[in-house]
Amino acid sequence: MSKTYDVVVIGGGPGGYIAAIRAAQLGLNVACIDEWKNARGGPALGGTCTNVGCIPSKALLQSSEYYEHAAHGFAAHGITHDKLAIDAAKMVARKDAIVKQSNDGIQYLFKKNKVTFFHGRGSFVKALDGGRGGYEIAVRGAQDETLAAHQVVVATGSNARALPGVPFDEETILSNDGALRIGKVPARLGLVGSGVIGLEMGSVWRRLGAEVTVLEALPVFLGAVDQQIAKEALKAFTKQGLAIELGVQVDKVEKVEKTAQAGRGKSGVSVSYTNAKGQACTLAVDQLVVSIGRVPNTNGLAPEAVGLALDERGAIVVDDACRTNLPGVWAVGDVVRGPMLAHKAEEEGVAVAERIAGQHGHVDFATIPWVIYTHPEIAWVGQTEEQLKASGRAYRAGTFPFAANGRARALGDTTGLVKFLADAASDEILGVHIVGPLASELIAEAVVAMSFKASSEDIARICHAHPSLGEALKEAALAVDKRTLNA
C-alpha cells in the first residue's frame, strides 16, 4: 500500500472535484482520482460537465446565438452587413480552448488546495475491517498505485443512454460527445429525444443552417416543465424552424450510404418511426443525435468487491445525506438519485465533505434550479402548476409577459413570461417559472427568495432597478395579488 488518505474521491467532475476541494479546505488529507483523457492522453479534470456537457454546450450556444443575431436580428437595429459566414471548425476550436482553460483551472485549484491528483481509473479492492478501518482503492493509469482511504466519496457520473441495438459511433450516430464535435454544419440533423440536450444541441445546429428534426416519445412537450411555460417555448421553437414531433415511436435506425436519401456528406442515417397518428414515417438525415437521457456510471469501479449497493437503474443507493450502505463510503452527483445537474452534484459534494469533517452539510433539494439554455431560455425552481393541482395544494398564480417589460423591448427580446405560484393562505412562494431572455440569471432571485421562505408579497415590495428584466419578476409577484402596475 503506497499512501493513506483521510478521503479518496473517485471522479473529478463537479461532484468529485468540489468535494475534494471542500474536504481539503477543512483540513483533511485528500486524493482525487479521475480517468478522463484529453486528445493527447493527458488529464482533463472536470468530468462530463467540463469536457462534453455544460461548458462546451454553452460555448457553442453562445457562438450560434451571435450568428443568429447577425443573420436575422441586426437589421432591425439598422446594422447591415454584406456577407456573413460561419466557420464551424473555428467555432468548435474556440469551444475546445474554453474546455482546456477549465481543465487547467481545476488542476490549479487542486494544487492550491493541496489535493493530490491521480490520473487513472479508481476501483474498490477491499474493505478493511468491514469498512471500519477504511478501504483499499486501486488506481490504474500512467502509474499504478494502491491507496488506503478512511473515507471514500464516489462521484463517477453518468453516460449517455443509447437506443437499444444502436451504438454510438460518434460519426453519424452521436451522443452529446459527438454532437459537440460536429466540424461542419450538416444539411439535415435528426435528434431523438426533445429533452434538455435535444433542445440545446438542436438549437445550435438549426441556428447555423441545418434543417433540424426532433423526434420525441412523449405526447407532451417538456413534461416536467410547467405546461404554460412549455407551450410558450414550443411555439417559439416551432417559429424558429425547429421541427419537433411528439408522441413518436422510433422503430429502426439504419446507417445508409449516401446520398439522395441522406443528403450531403459521405453517409447518413435513416430513422423509421411511427408518428402520433400511428402512421409509418421515415426521416433521412446526415447525422443523428440520440439524447434520450443518461445512465449512472459505475464502469470499472468494482462496487461488487466491497458490496456497494446499486439500484435497478445502476445508480448507487444513498440516503438524503449521500451515505451509501457501506460505512465511510459516500456517493454524489449523477451516479446517485435526483436530477442530473452539475450544481446539484456540487452541492452534494460540499455537504458530504462537511459531514466527513464533522459538520452539518445540507442540500435543499426543493430549491435546486433548472435551466434550459435555448432561446428563449427556460428556467424554473420549485413546483409546477400541474404538481400543485395534483397534490391538492391551494395556490394563487401571477404571470407577467416580457412584452410589457421595457428592458426586454429595448433588447428586442420580448418572447415569454414569468410565472409565480404562491400558497393561497400563507403567500409563500411555491414555484417560479420563466421562459424568456436571460431566464438563467433571473431564476437566481427566485432561488434566494424560496430558500428564505419568502412570500410573493416580499418580492413585490422589493425595489428592482429600472429598466431591467428583473422587474418582470416583481410584476409577476404583484400579479399573484392581481395588482400588476405595467400590464
The total of other beta-carbon atoms located within 10 Å of residue 142's CB is: 11
Least distance CB 403 / ligand FAD (angstroms): 27
**Shorter beta-carbon distance to ligand NAI: residue 109 or 218:** 218
**Shorter beta-carbon distance to ligand FAD: residue 190 or 263:** 190
- Exposed, middle or buried: residue 31 (CB in 10 Å: 0-12, 13-18, 19+)? buried
For the record, the C-alpha cell of 385 comes out as: 402548476
Residue 238's SS3 state is helix
Distance of CA 158 to the CA centre of its chain: 12
The partner in contact with residue 15, picked from ligand FAD, ligand NAI, none with C-beta cut-offs of 5 to 8 angstroms by kind, is: ligand FAD
CA-to-CA distance for 92 and 88, rounded, in angstroms? 6
Least distance CB 79 / ligand NAI (angstroms): 30
Least distance CB 282 / ligand FAD (angstroms): 27
Least distance CB 73 / ligand FAD (angstroms): 23
Question: With the C-alpha atoms ordered 277, 228, 375, 95, is the resulting torsion angle positive or negative?
Answer: negative
The partner in contact with residue 10, picked from ligand NAI, ligand FAD, none with C-beta cut-offs of 5 to 8 angstroms by kind, is: ligand FAD
- Do the Cβ atoms of 429 and 421 come closer than 8 Å? yes
Give the binding site for ligand NAI (CB under 6 A).
163, 192-198, 200, 215-218, 250, 291-294, 339-341, 371-373
Q: Which residue is nearest to ligand NAI (CB)?
A: 195
Amino acid identity of residue 108, one-letter, is: Y
The partner in contact with residue 292, picked from ligand FAD, ligand NAI, none with C-beta cut-offs of 5 to 8 angstroms by kind, is: ligand NAI
- Do the Cβ atoms of 179 and 59 come closer than 8 Å? no
Least distance CB 295 / ligand NAI (angstroms): 10
Distance of CA 233 to the CA centre of its chain: 18
**Shorter beta-carbon distance to ligand FAD: residue 60 or 244:** 60
**Shorter beta-carbon distance to ligand NAI: residue 254 or 304:** 254
The partner in contact with residue 427, picked from ligand FAD, ligand NAI, none with C-beta cut-offs of 5 to 8 angstroms by kind, is: none
CA-to-CA distance for 220 and 411, rounded, in angstroms? 31
Give the binding site for ligand FAD (CB under 6 A).
10-16, 33-36, 47-49, 53-54, 57, 121-122, 155-158, 176, 197, 297, 300-301, 333-335, 340-343, 345
- Do the Cβ atoms of 74 and 413 come closer than 8 Å? no
Catalytic sites, residue numbers: 466
**Shorter beta-carbon distance to ligand NAI: residue 24 or 197:** 197
The total of other beta-carbon atoms located within 10 Å of residue 409's CB is: 13
CA-to-CA distance for 432 and 193, rounded, in angstroms? 25
The partner in contact with residue 198, picked from ligand NAI, ligand FAD, none with C-beta cut-offs of 5 to 8 angstroms by kind, is: ligand NAI
